[in-house]
Structure 1
Amino acid sequence: MEFKSFPSPDDLLVLLTVARLGRFTAVADALETTHTTVSRRILALDKQLGGRTLERTPQGWELTELGRAAVSAAEGIEKSLTTLSTGLREGADVLSGVVRVSTSDGFGARIATPAIIRLQKQHPLLRVELLSATRRLSQNRSGVDIEVVPGTVEAGRSETMLLTDYVLRLYAGPGYAAENEMPTTVAELAHHPFISYVDSTLQVSELALQRDALPAGSAYFQSTSVFAQVEAVRSNGGIAMIAAFMVEGREDFVQVLPNEVRQVVQYWAAARPESMRSPAVQAVLAAFIQETRRMRKQLLPD
């Protein structure tokens, strides 16, 4: 490759971050700079290389052929800097930088958070930003390194990884169970108030099935937050279909129709190919997988 002038290593690393996150605003946040500065650095790099490294698409910024070659060089710079940092820390295995993760409330709190904290204790220079959202896989590049979503995925350009299966079951609060005649058949659910997600905002079809497939009563309480649903059940507001790993074994939750109603859903992780090559992203994904294996009995109870 013949350059008009030698490219700035700093500008190459900015391009690498754009390739991983897809949005200038997300890159600005990750690098603690401004959208204008990111744009200026990319324009400077394009001038140095003699062509465009990025093109705008409905899915965000994507690399051109020249951009892919530049990112390959940037990954080499990143690896060299990591090796240098490791050497300066007397051979310690050092991970650093920012990894942005988007995931649902339940996975984020019960699985991702303990996994991340353990990883950061080993690698104190690693910073992770956890964003909560229960939705299907984004097709418009949400500015994150990793998306963890429930249900099926249509990856597009993303690379995907199955993290784990998990079980949904029906639960009620002990006060509700004591004050009401509990259903003995699925049909009898129609006589009970149901706690669920807000229908108009729920994007994950597998989670919508939890209500649509059951003859449950009116959804008196709906929330986009699974934690609010859990609290509504604990407060004896009705019956809800909840991930077992959120409540299994707690005395303030009673299983309803345990032998009749059981739904298995999957958690998938997805990331751009450029993100998947990041050692920090790989470490976070490995931590998630390790945590799901540790929690296997809670995720998939008998």
Structure 2
Amino acid sequence: MDVAPALDPRRLLVFREVVRAGSISAGARRLGWTQPAVSQHLAALERAAGMPLLLRGPRGVEPTEPGRALMAHADAVAARLADASAELEAFADRATGRVRVAAFPSGAAVVLPPALRRLAEAHPAMRVDLVEAEPPQALDLVRAGDADLGLVFDYGSADEPAGDLVVVPVGSDATRLVLPRDHPLAGASGPADLGDLADDTWVAGCPRCSAHLVEAAGAAGFVPDVRHTTDDYVLAQALVAQGLGVTLLPETALQAYRHPDVVVRPARRTRARRHHLVHRPGAQHLPAVSAVVAALRESVPAGPVRRTAG
């Protein structure tokens, strides 16, 4: 009985860098190797696999279907090695080293700065790297080992599950209706009824925010007329200020930036946006990661998760 040769994990990581870089030459630069050396490792990996793993072309490389399957395992190997490296570093010097955080934009603007300041004061030997990423991308970064923590959100509906990641609820913020100053409902008091805006045009946000808008409008008995879509809360408010639509925005986005020519009101039939931290299993035992989690939990709004009555 023939036994397939074992895959060399080092070549698996070389393959991962090449796929992520998009070409053999770019992968070689990221690895600090020569291109012929990288090509030799890839050829040896394909011989061991017994099938092509990359499609080579003038614009770079793309993984074959088996290559894409292998890439998931390569990401898992890289993630476990990153965990091992971080854990050993933590043993050498508690709450030191680098922690990589992927956070959605308004969370990065409102939650991260005070948390990073506290961490810099309490743990000066620790480094925290931040990258902006919407929740689906943040989940992918954490799964692949390219981020240690993800600050994500959902509206308590059918959002992408975190799956194999650990999810730590850390708070929520309310959803607000944003209107032009001359809108007929701008001067009213109390929560607005979205049904009164059925004839308005709307500015929608990211996929999760857009889904929440459609859900809330549906509960009020109409389908929103979405004319503009942007996940930039500054642009969304600028469009509203010019009378080009109305929108729903979370409170943290309005804390990060508030256009002077918009009016903000509470609205019925909307959900609060729930905030979570996600990480790979076991990462919570690393002192540096646990320190960042504690700092972020202090910074995230702790409002109740509930639907505004309507």
TM-score category, normalised to shorter length:
0.5 to 0.7
Name the structure 2 match of 1:82. Answer: 93
Name 1:284's counterpart in structure 2. Answer: 292
1:161 aligns with 2:168: yes
Residue aligning to 1:133: 133
- Contact persistence 1:232–1:238 (CA under 8 A): yes
- Partner of 1:247, secondary structure, is helix
What does residue 8 of structure 1 align with?
none
Matching residue of 1:221: 228
**Counterpart pick for 1:145 among 140, 145, 148:** 148
Shift in Å, 1:220: 2.3
Q: Deviations over 1:197-246 (max 9, x none)?
A: 26xxx2x3x65122343136422221122332233334443211110233
Is 2:112 the counterpart of 1:116? no
In structure 2, what is the Cα distance between the partners aligned to 1:111 and 1:298?
17
Give the gaps of 5 or more residues in structure 1: 1-17, 26-32, 44-54, 84-94
Give the Cα separation in 2 of the matches to 1:80 and 1:184: 54
Alignment partner, residue 267 of structure 1: 275
Shift of 1:287: 0.7
Q: Which residue pairs with 1:211 in the alignment?
A: 214
Query: Could you tell me how far apart the structure 2 residues matched to 1:73 and 1:267 are?
Result: 28
CA–CA separation in structure 2 for the residues paired with 1:261 and 1:230: 21
Q: 2:246 aligned with 1:239, yes or no?
A: yes
TM-score (norm 1): 0.62
RMSD of the alignment, in Å? 4.4
C-alpha distance 24-241 of structure 1, shift in aligned 2 (>3 A): same
CA distance in structure 1 between the partners assigned to 2:104 and 2:239 by the alignment: 18
**Alpha-carbon separation, structure 1, partners of 2:286 and 2:230:** 36
The two structures have a TM-score, normalised by structure 2, of: 0.61
1:58 counterpart SS class: helix
- Secondary structure, in 3 states, of the residue corresponding to 1:160? strand
Report deviation, 1:73.
7.7
Change (3 A) 1:71 1:57: same
The alpha carbon displacement at 1:109 in A equals 0.6
Cα distance in 2 for partners of 1:260, 1:240 equals 14
AA in 2 matched with 1:162: P
Given the superposition, is the C-alpha separation of residues 96 and 234 from structure 1 closer, same or farther in structure 2, using an over 3 Å criterion?
farther
Verify the 8 A CA contact 2:204 2:210 in the aligned structure 1. Answer: no
| Separation in structure 2 between the aligned mates of residue 156 and residue 217 of structure 1, nearest angstrom | 32
Separation in 1, partners of 2:187, 2:279: 47
Taking a change above 3 Å as real, the CA distance of residues 167 and 178 of structure 1, as seen in their structure-2 partners, is closer
Q: Distance in 2 between matches of 1:166 and 1:59?
A: 37
Q: Secondary structure at the match of 2:139?
A: coil
Q: Does the C-alpha gap of structure 1 residues 299 and 156 become closer, same or farther in structure 2, counting only changes over 3 Å? A: closer
Aligned-partner SS, 1:188? helix
Identity %, equivalent residues? 19
